Amino acid sequence: MKYYDTFIIGHITQDQNVTENQEVSESPGGAVFFSSYASLAGERPTGVLTKTAEKDRHLLNEFNVPKEDLYYIPSKCTTLMKNQFFSADREKRICTALSIADPFRLEDIPDVNSKIYHLAGLVYGDFDNELIKPLSEKGLVAADMQGFLRVSENGSMVFKDWNEKREYLPYIHFLKTDAAEAEIMTGCAEKEEAAKIMFGWGAKEVMVTHNTEVIVYTEEGLFRCPLKPRNLSGRTGRGDTCFSTYITERLHQGVKESLLYAAATVSYKMETPGPIRATRNGIEAYIKEFYADETN
């Protein structure tokens, strides 16, 4: 049996990216893609489960996990996303799902032993809700709410509250939203209060990302750390990188130290397009240079 710190489940995607200047490019994407690079940058044992159509199996070559740690299941379709950006910082965008891969079900999970089972989804329906409780009996469940709130309506992405949230949040140890998703789930525009509400509903550690900072709410209280990228050319995959880094660090460090490492890692990542390609030594050097005031 294979042993991992984190086992990441999600669809790798083929993304069509259209800039504000109407320049078109294609790149691999998906929360599972960016998350796996982040956990490996932290030198944490990582396994990945993904699905694509057989004709798109070449996308598996985009992962940097060892081949024996990459688990693949064929799907009728591959998740294809069109990202239309309206500003250079890539904060304003419209996402369209051109096709969506088959959902993940309990019988898809291989016989592995992982400390964390990370549900790295893109669209509601990527995961059968019935995955959550059994996985929580095997390890700590980490869930990005994008995969539970973002709904495809004829391809257009809209955000709706997750009706089953109160039933399943008690089984989720690590929960991640961005500020807008936190408001959708709680009705509260203040991200700090929204995080506290989601914690009260049963999630054990709640992360809320924002373009200027990241906050985490746990039984120890509220923690925050700023983001300090020198440019935003690699903004895509920001939340995935931050969350994956935080949860794997938490297996080895406290909340404050893990949040600092995650904020620095995603700041480093945002300075270059694509997934983070860094060593742990490189990230620690970045912390010394740009986060010295946060380590005191």
**Considering the entire predicted model, what is its pTM?**
0.94
Query: Quick check: 116 and 6 in contact, CB under 8 A?
Result: yes
Domain limits for position 278? 2-294
pLDDT score for 97: 86
pLDDT score for 90: 61
DSSP 125: T
Using CA atoms, how far residue 37 sits from 2, 265, 269, 291, in Å, is: 19, 11, 10, 22
Number of domains in the chain: 1
Domain CATH for 128: 3.40.1190.20
Integer Cα distance of 153 and 157 in angstroms: 6
Query: Quick check: 75 and 103 in contact, CB under 8 A?
Result: no
Per-residue pLDDT of the chain (296 residues; tens, 9 = 90+): 899 999 999 999 988 777 677 776 778 999 999 999 999 999 999 999 999 999 999 999 999 999 999 999 999 999 998 878 766 666 667 788 889 999 999 999 999 999 999 999 999 999 999 999 999 999 999 999 999 999 988 878 899 999 999 999 999 999 999 999 999 999 999 999 999 999 999 999 999 999 999 999 999 999 999 999 988 888 888 999 999 999 999 999 999 999 999 999 999 999 998 999 999 999 999 999 999 888 76
In a 13 Å sphere around the CA of 285, the CA atoms on its Cβ side amount to 5
pLDDT score for 84: 80
pLDDT score for 92: 66
pLDDT score for 260: 97
pLDDT score for 269: 95
pLDDT score for 236: 85
Integer Cα distance of 44 and 162 in angstroms: 31
Give the pair of three-digit tokens for residue 196: 């506290």
Dihedral class, residue 22 (left if φ above 0, else alpha if ψ from -120 to 50, else beta): left
Integer Cα distance of 276 and 266 in angstroms: 8
DSSP 59: G
